[in-house]
Amino acid sequence: MQQLMALGASAFEWREISEPRLLAPADAIVRPLAVSICDADVLYMRGAFRRRDPFCFGHEFVAEVVELGEDVAGFAIGDRVAVAFLIACGSCLACRRGLPAACTTIDAKAAYGFGIFGDWGGALCDRVRVPYANYMMALLPPGVSPAAAASVGDNLSDAFRCVAEGLEEQPGAPVLVVAGGGGTPSIGLYAATLAIALGSEQVDYLDSDPARLALAESLGATAIERASAPGRVGSYPVTADTSGDPSGAWLGTALRSTAAYGRCTSCGVFHGSAPVPLGAMYDRGVRFTVGWGNPQTHMAKVLALLASAPGMLDSIHTVAPWVEAIDRLAQPPTKLILARPEAMPVSAPVFRPVSDVDDPGEFDRLLPGRMER
Ligand SMILES: [Zn+2]
Ligand SMILES: [Zn+2]
């Protein structure tokens, strides 16, 4: 089968590799239909991480079920499912607490498509083995397309956790999304969109990039433009650092802009130390969350939100044909989604009111299948 391999920061190649097969009764084999490029993939392609050996690329995906082990229940062959990028068992104490990133059965970070978290394969291929499939997969609701849901197993669930917990605690509360320098370009826009969908009365979006700021405005957020990280931009019960900035500069803005006993969540990746404004946090009792997301805990809720407004993310997404993967990865847009032909969005049919049509022949051409007069 074909698998897209990452050979270096911006070098990709389709290679023939052997197909996975069921190894345990709880496994499923799926065929990816739509794969989105994770914000962490973008960081990798910019050379932000250490060099890795060639690896199977892609980890955010929706797939159709091809084969099921005998212990997998509630799914059928042909079902379309969102798959969590993070491998976890679903039955250990950590998983039962909703923390699959701390799964003790797997005992180390395990994920598709990174090349450094185990040999689980990548999503840009013809078949993927899904262990612990009952826990790892979530059924797409009717009306939700594979492309719209492609990142539910990672970035979209990450955006959700950045705002949902705070809004559950304080329904309607104002939210600040600190997208900062755009290190992780899609999660900030996702977080702003989801905060609006979850009922926040005011969503402010802080970024340095004019195009993303304009997009955030069109999604219903209020744009705040700053070229570099400001000290503080206000006081918000819920703040999210989606900047992906390992220096912690934009994180500092989010923390200092969190209201008394508010919640600040960062979905950034930090390896070294970063300055944290502990005094400002202490004064206001800021509750701060950082670390890997736990997609299995959020996927069903995110899919239900998508089902309530299936087109809500369309303006953030650029959906491109699967076969164009290598060309499209050379200059990735804000959120690239690679889709197989059957998962490509159908473009809307041309519709014009009859009164606008002068030439009756043209009217016939606009309505294929119309009977000849
Ligand atoms: Zn990811
Ligand atoms: Zn577990």
Which pLDDT tens digit goes with each residue over 286-334? 999 999 999 999 999 999 999 999 899 999 999 999 999 999 999 888 8
Q: Are 159 and 190 in contact (CB under 8 A)?
A: yes
% pLDDT > 90, the chain: 79
- Say how many Å lie between the CA of residue 132 and the centre of ligand 1: 19
Ligand nearest to the CA of 90: 2
Ligand nearest to the CA of 61: 1
- The token pair at 25 is 């009764």
User: Which pLDDT score is estimated for 182?
Assistant: 67
Amino acid at 360: P
Band of pLDDT at residue 369, cut at 50, 70 and 90 = very low
Tell me the residue length of the chain.
373
Which pLDDT tens digit goes with each residue over 263-276? 999 998 888 888 99
- Say how many Å lie between the CA of residue 293 and the centre of ligand 1: 10
Q: Are 303 and 80 in contact (CB under 8 A)?
A: no
User: Which pLDDT score is estimated for 347?
Assistant: 65
Ligand nearest to the CA of 107: 2
| Topology at the third CATH level for domain 155-290 | Rossmann fold (3.40.50)
Of the candidates 335, 363, 257, which has an alpha carbon nearest to the alpha carbon of residue 60? 335
Residue 357 has pLDDT above 70, yes or no: no
Ligand nearest to the CA of 96: 2
- Say how many Å lie between the CA of residue 77 and the centre of ligand 1: 27
Band of pLDDT at residue 354, cut at 50, 70 and 90 = very low
- Say how many Å lie between the CA of residue 108 and the centre of ligand 2: 11
| Topology at the third CATH level for domain 2-147+317-343 | Quinone Oxidoreductase; Chain A, domain 1 (3.90.180)
Which pLDDT tens digit goes with each residue over 214-261? 999 999 999 999 999 999 999 999 999 999 898 999 999 999 999 999
- Say how many Å lie between the CA of residue 110 and the centre of ligand 2: 11
- Say how many Å lie between the CA of residue 120 and the centre of ligand 1: 14
Q: Are 124 and 261 in contact (CB under 8 A)?
A: no
Band of pLDDT at residue 349, cut at 50, 70 and 90 = very low
C-alpha neighbours within 13 Å on the C-beta side of residue 308 = 9
List the domain boundaries for the chain. Answer: 2-147+317-343, 155-290
Ligand nearest to the CA of 151: 1
User: Which pLDDT score is estimated for 355?
Assistant: 47
Residue 350 has pLDDT above 50, yes or no: no
